[in-house]
A and B are shown apart, each in its own frame.
Chain A
């Protein structure tokens, strides 16, 4: 088998070949490292490449290469969060997911570019430059796990780890034409994930198809004593011929309102028709609190970020001024002012505003009440349905530079993904069509800890369609930029 064809296979297919001894782990790693070299200039998907990091471990993922978003701690490998303040930070311990994947025999090929501290929807707020979409390098790969989605779409890795606080795995997966799942809150340990919004953050895999995501997630999920919010969780890889016959799927009216572009509506409703054709029962429902989710989310996520990011002082780690004439406060303020980018500062200030005396009840507490009502909305629908389906994003990938100057417009583009994090549910984005040549994703949402069920439903859909196997033209990533 030649190198080019190896990088076109899904992680699930490669796993089968590796298990049977048809190909060697070194061959597979070499093929993907060569593809990383070829496509890094065009995509800027990686911040760090780990050449030759080969652990000869036998396990369920033995020999399968992957890369991890650069907010997931890797012992001895720089972990920057795409921020200047952590640009030289080298963790002294591994995140649990990294340990688990190493124990399964997976090989880490590098660390992926992202929005600074996972704050952004386009991967343009990175200190290391924007990620470019392999389908059109003039467009965003989405964010904040833009590097993860772009790397999988470009064939640089068969699967990647992202993190999702408000859509950061699903939205870039939609924009890059790949499959990505945000697991149930608590399904995957957050130990070693550099915190943004701790009540919302989850690590999850991005791959070409649902079976590959399930394979990766099965090696990552489960209880970890170092994260008190993690719970027992078994992931099943969807069987061949998996069926969704008789499954009840809800379509929320509010998610198909005017803000949705016609192209996305057409693609997602097309997916709904396919699922109906496979035997699913689809009905329209109401989710009235959906329209308040963005406001509540940006209050809660920013408030948690303001608290979490107060640890960055440049004293114990991180970039620091070494001027001995400055006192402690002056050093900390200077480190933070020079170390954080504009979007991070904006969210820290939004969070501190919402938590400050006089505004706490009107903003933070009110947002927590909206969260309670939103969770009730979802629970009401899930009493009668197995899944909810709606768009992942209101449009396809925007052009680079289009989104940064209007923060509110960028936040509003997260309207379909943030409600899921607030309710702690699992959700998956799967390719369901093209709009003006750019990929569009449909979002399948399940009950808490029904991660395997949504992966199975997505596998059934992907068995009947080929949107997930469409790839950007080779020329797109060979453009000199």
Chain B
């Protein structure tokens, strides 16, 4: 798998991260090394094996649909960088 600066920059954008020029070079080298190692899995012919997403056999495990108190609004807002008495204030979304 060829990992180049363009692919690294694309993945950084997907990750919501901006990398400085020097960081981009270093990250490209790091990804090349690690993904190169992950390519050892190519040697395995295992297409017929079903992927296992979870070790547990539970399916659609639900709890009783009971009413219970949720975290008070004031508590939820306490860690927000910008807020009013009732809402989290976000930066402008348009324009």
Interface SS, B side: loop
Subset of 24 A-B contacts with CB under 8 Å: A88-B79, A90-B78, A186-B56, A229-B58, A295-B41, A313-B16, A320-B82, A324-B91, A327-B91, A327-B92, A328-B91, A328-B93, A332-B16, A345-B17, A349-B12, A350-B34, A350-B35, A363-B38, A366-B41, A369-B44, A369-B47, A371-B51, A408-B37, A448-B55
Which A residues lie within 8 Å of B37 (CB)?
294-295, 408, 411-412
Q: A299's contact among B38, B71, B95, by CB below 8 Å, is which?
A: B38
CB of A259 closer than 8 Å to a CB of B: no
Extra inter-chain contacts (10) besides given A316-B80, A345-B27, A346-B34, CB under 8 Å: A228-B61, A298-B38, A317-B80, A337-B18, A348-B17, A350-B35, A353-B11, A366-B46, A368-B53, A372-B52
CA distance A324 to B38 in the complex (A): 42
Most buried by A among B1, B15, B19, B62: B15
Which A residues lie within 8 Å of B7 (CB)?
A: 353
Residues of A within 8 A of B50 (CB): 369, 372
Min distance, Cβ A353 to any Cβ of chain B, angstroms: 5
Of the candidates A296, A324, A327, A349, the one whose C-beta lies within 8 Å of that of B95 is A327
Q: Count the A residues whose beta carbon is within 8 Å of the partner chain — how many?
A: 71
Main secondary structure of the interface of A (DSSP, over half): helix
CB–CB A336/B17 < 8 A: yes
Q: Quick check: B34 and A411 within 8 Å, CB to CB?
A: yes
CA distance A330 to B91 in the complex (A): 9
**Are B81 and A333 within 8 A (Cβ)?**
no
B84 at the interface (CB under 8 A from A): no
CA distance A322 to B80 in the complex (A): 11
B79 touches A90 (CB 8 A): yes
- On whether the beta carbons of A368 and B71 are closer than 8 Å, the reply is no
Chain B, interface size: which category?
A: 35 or more
Contacts of B88 in A (CB 8 A): 315-316
Within B7-41, which residues are at the interface with A (CB < 8 Å)?
7-8, 11-12, 14-19, 27, 30-31, 33-35, 37-38, 40-41
A370 at the interface (CB under 8 A from B): yes
Chain B residue at minimal CB-CB distance from A184: B55
| Residues of chain A from 298 to 324 with CB closer than 8 A to chain B in the complex | 298-299, 306, 310, 313-320, 322, 324
* Residue A175 is within 8 A (CB to CB) of chain B in the complex: no
A186 to B50, CA, bound (A): 22
Compute how far the CA of A348 lies from the CA of B76 in the bound complex, rounded to whole angstroms: 26
Pick the contact of B46 from A88, A186, A295, A369 — CB < 8 Å?
A369
